[in-house]
Amino acid sequence: MEILLQHCVNALQWGSFYALIALGYTLVYGVLRLINFAHGDIFMVGAYIAFFISTTLLAKDGAFALSMDTTLALTIPLTVLLTSLVGVTLERIAYRPLRRKGAHRLYVVITALMCGLILENGNLALLGASRRTLPQLLEKHVYSLGGIAVTNLKIWVILAAFAVFVLLQLAVTRTRIGMAMRAVSYDRFALPLMGIPMDWVIVFTFMVGSGIAGLGGLLFAMSYPVLEPYMGVMTGWKAFIAAVVGGIGDIRGAFAGGFLLAFVEIMVAAFLPSTFRDLFAFSILLLILWKRPTGIFGTPLTTKI
């Protein structure tokens, strides 16, 4: 029983990362109907940005030499801000020109794939293949609650994922900019006629999505402190699958999908030979899609021609 609970805690933490990344996929898809395959790599860039900010601020002989707590307090907003700028830059130089020229969505998706590869290999060329490790930003405590081991970091990760989800859900359903985002997704051609600045809404979407990925990257680097240029690829793909299973385009779907995938992965590894983890995990997800091709929260979409 304790072991089962321990597995649940593990899955909650691992699912938080999937959920944070999946939210970015789903936001961009929901607004633009674009699968931003570079998103996993934006997550990686977020982790690296966190690494550079925290090492600069922490350096004993550097200009700042701040304490651990202050560094963490500054690293979080700076990472989110800088990562969101990376996302916006990508939108400006890669996706917007194509959109302006009225390129088919397929070409934009391919562009996104290429952007991801550019980010990975640019990082490799710039920083070399050596792995990096994030300095410790949080004094780690291991709590044991009736046989279940939890660290303070794990609790923060789970809380952060839930907080981001609630805020995002509120922003999209309750605010004017959220309404504008839903409007873009509803009818992109009628929108400018209503006087809504579409480019601004799209930029905002990319900012929010990439900012969340940046936060995810920071938390990920704190939990799994080995950074390498390809760290976002597999996690990004899996988070994308999570978003699709949850129903891509729906925020609740991305969130639920992320945790679902993590639970399936961890429980398969826990009760079946770990060798078959991905095989069983993805077979189960395939079964879910088979039953509900639009995902758990997704609604069938009719395409207007």
Partner 1 sequence: MRLRILSLACGTLLLLGAATLAAAADTVIKIGFPIPLTGEIPKVGESTKYAAEMLKEEINAKGGLDVGGDLYKLDFIYEDNESKPESAVNVTLKLIERDQVWALVGPQSSRQAVPAGATADENRTPMITPWSTNPEATKDRPWVFRAAFLDPFQAPVVADFATKTFKGTKAAVLFEISNDYSKGLADNFKDAWEKLHGPGSIVAFESHGPKDQDFSAQLTKIIAAKPDFLFLPENYSFVALIIPQARDLGFDKPFMGSDAWGSAELMSLCKDPCKGQYFSTHYAAAGATGATKAFIDKYKAKYGYVPDDVAALTWDAVNIVLWAIRTGDRIEPDVKKMRTLIRDRMASMQNFDGITGSMRFDAQGDPIKCAVVVKIADDGQFSFVESVCPDKK
Question: Which member of 65, 113, 114, 124 binds partner 1 (CB under 8 A)?
Answer: 124
Residue 3 is a binding residue for partner 1 (CB under 8 A): yes
Does 283 interact with partner 1 (rule: CB under 8 A)? no
Number of H helices, E strands in the chain: 11, 2
Calculate Rg over the CA atoms of the chain. Answer: 20
166 binds partner 1 (CB under 8 A): no
Number of residues in contact with partner 1 under rule CB under 8 A: 38
- Long-range CB pairs of 246-249 (<8 Å, 24+ gap) are 246/22, 246/26, 246/295, 246/296, 246/297, 246/298, 247/294, 247/295, 247/296, 247/297, 247/298, 247/299, 248/25, 248/26, 248/29, 248/30, 248/35, 248/295, 248/298, 249/26, 249/29, 249/30, 249/185, 249/298
Nearest to 19 by CA among 254, 287, 204: 254
Helix (H), strand (E), coil (C) string for 130-168: CCECCCCCCCCCEEEECCEEEEHHHHHHHHHHHHHHHHH
Among 56, 151, 169, 294, binds partner 1 (CB under 8 A): 151
Judged by CB under 8 A, the chain residues 231 through 260 that form the site for partner 1 are 231, 233-235
| Minimum gap (Å) between residue 220 Cβ and partner 1 | 8
Q: Can residue 142 be called a binding residue for partner 1 (CB under 8 A)? A: yes
Identify which of residues 29 and 48 has a Cβ nearer to partner 1 in the complex: 48
Specify the length of the chain in residues. Answer: 305
Cβ pair 202, 21 in contact under 8 A:
no
By CB under 8 A, tell whether 89 contacts partner 1: no
144 vs 303, which CB is nearer to partner 1?
144
The answer to the question of residue 190 lying near partner 1 (CB under 8 A) is no
The residues, any chain, with a CB within 8 Å of residue 81's CB and separated by 6 or more, are: 211, 214
The whole-angstrom separation of Cα 305 and Cα 298 is 21
The answer to whether 111 contacts partner 1 (rule: CB under 8 A) is no
- Minimum distance of partner 1 from residue 226's CB (angstroms): 5
Calpha distance 199→96 (Å, rounded): 9
16 binds partner 1 (CB under 8 A): no
* Stretch 195-234 residues interacting with partner 1 (CB under 8 A): 224-226, 228, 230-231, 233-234
Q: Of the ranges 198-206, 245-253, 272-280, 289-297, which one interacts with partner 1 (CB under 8 A)?
A: 272-280
Does 144 interact with partner 1 (rule: CB under 8 A)? yes
- Told to check if 275 binds partner 1 by CB under 8 A, we report yes
Q: Would you say 13 or 111 has its CB closer to partner 1?
A: 13
Which residues sit at the interface with partner 1, rule CB under 8 A? 3, 6-7, 10, 13-14, 124, 128-131, 133, 140, 142, 144, 149, 151, 153-154, 224-226, 228, 230-231, 233-235, 265-267, 269-270, 273-275, 277-278
